Amino acid sequence: MTNDPNETSQPTAGVPLTASLVARAASLAEAPLPDDVRELARQCVLDWAGVALAGANEPLSRILLAQAREDGGAPIASLVGTPLRLSVRQAALLNGAAGHAIDYDDANMAAQGHVTAAVLPAALAVGESRAASGDVLLRAFAAGYEMTGMVGQYLGRAHYERGFHGTATVGSFGAACAAAVLMALDRDSTAVALGIAGTQAGGMKAQFGTMCKPLHAGKANENGVTGAQLAARGFTGRADLLEAAQGFALATSPAPDAQAALAMPPGGTHLHNNLFKYHAACYGTHSSIEAVRTLCEAHQLTAADIERIDLDVEPGAQRMCDIVQPATGLQAKFSLRLNAALAVAGADTASPATYIDSTAQRPDLIALRERVAVHFMPDGWPLMQAAVRILTRDGRTLSARHDSGVPERDLARQRARLARKFMALAAPVVGPDRAAAIERAIGALDHIEDIGTLMSMLSQPTGTTS
């Protein structure tokens, strides 16, 4: 495709791209999910539930709730972490923001963002309002996830490098798709819903390190719900906004690629390439954390042993997680240097409680942070790979690599690891007994007749922090 603003993209003769994407996503929702896809979808729900419960009491979540209560609205859909109900649109917004508030939710490289936080809350809000079953919810989520991956591939990495946060932009299309499935829209109306959602979509990476980054996830869900709701009422909009002349792709990407959008992802679906986070920081820092920690543990290094740390990372990290002198806990999540220092210090980077203002301001961590040099490698470097070299004060140079962009293929092992993460996040909020009950319910989600049962478990905290 050229950059001609009057050009449209057609993947096959006479078939608009959006129609092709809707057909592929819908095929996931219209038949029973394969066992591995269903398990991956349940794992996404479990991971999101933990991070959303932990994020529901964050300052940004409280501000959004105060605004929603002032706005008013019909109490239809549950709000995670509180006994309150909001309108479907408001619940999608607030639950979406809560799920990204501590930046500990999953990611997908093809989708250029955090897919579950951008799609699942829309599906939950719409599904709860319609007493949808757990099986229908999982199918809708899988369809929305697939749409997000396809749109992300269509726009290409250049969309993200231009400064757009894919969680907000690409995620809006996935949320609209999931909501449309739950509302039983036909394929033509679903395409219009995507167009309505897309014309609202925005989100700038310049907001990383502020409350607006989690807001991006919330807005993706809200945009998707609004798109589906309005399309269902006959609201008009382009059914080909993605590929239209002066449409979404040509406005936000220098080289949209329809064939990339339609290419089969590894494993058969984009869900197969979901990446879960086990450090409560920007995903771009994870490979560095892992490699530094591996070297320190293998050679029993402490900060006193280290002269310098060199990190080789992808060039895009400079615009994603290169806050050089973080002053707050939120900024610390986006600092390669500070996270390398935390890894040396043996800090619990799996705990959101590590990422607080006092951590960013600790003199020992600042001193170590200043001995970290970040090198942004040429284009073509693997997106989530880090090469680490530690120069010790006794003259040794120790090296390690880690690639956090490789998904886990052992789903049972991944499930066990996610269960531990979930309990660590959820138990302080709802208590260990309810957290265990939620975990069991999500494990059997495809057998739940009405997802309102699960939402009621997530919406009334009983722990000490509620």
pLDDT along the chain (466 residues), means of 10: 40 77 96 96 98 96 96 94 96 98 94 96 98 98 98 96 96 98 98 98 93 97 98 98 96 96 96 95 94 96 97 92 93 95 95 93 96 95 94 97 93 96 95 97 97 94 44
What is the pLDDT at residue 111? 93
Whether the domain at 17-273 and the domain at 283-403 fall into the same CATH topology: no
Q: Would the CA dihedral through 69, 71, 76, 81 be positive or negative?
A: negative
* 455 alpha carbon, distance to own chain's centre: 20
Q: Which position has the token pair 């007994």?
A: 433
**Residue positions counted in the chain:** 466
What is the structure's pLDDT at 4? 42
* Residue tagged 């419960």 (tokens): 53
Which strands form 306-313's sheet, in the order they lie side by side? Answer: 372-376, 306-313, 385-392, 397-403
Residue 52 to residues 41, 120, 156, 195, 236: CA-CA distances in angstroms?
16, 11, 29, 28, 34
Tell whether pTM > 0.85. Answer: yes
What are the backbone angles phi and psi of residue 443, rounded to the nearest 5°? -60, -25
What H or E segment, with its residue span, contains residue 121?
helix 115-129
Rg (CA), the chain: 22
Q: Which residues pair with 86 in a beta bridge?
A: 77
**Distance, CA of 83 to CA of 87 (rounded, Å):** 14
Residue 169 CA to residue 161 CA, distance in Å, equals 13
Helix and strand tally (H, E) in the chain? 20, 6
The CATH architecture assigned to 17-273 reads: Orthogonal Bundle (1.10)
Task: For strands 397-403 and 306-313, give the pairing.
Answer: unpaired
Question: Using CA atoms, how far apart are residues 176 and 316, in angstroms rounded to an integer?
Answer: 28
Does domain 283-403 fall under CATH 3.30.1330.120? My reply is yes
Domain locations in the chain? 17-273, 283-403
Q: Are 435 and 426 in contact (CB under 8 A)?
A: yes
The Cα–Cα gap between 349 and 371 comes to: 20
Q: Where are the alpha helices (DSSP H) in 405-464?
A: 411-430, 432-443, 452-458
pLDDT at 54: 95
156 within 8 A of 260, measured Cβ to Cβ: yes
Distance CA 272, CA 290 (A): 22
Q: What is the pLDDT of residue 14?
A: 61
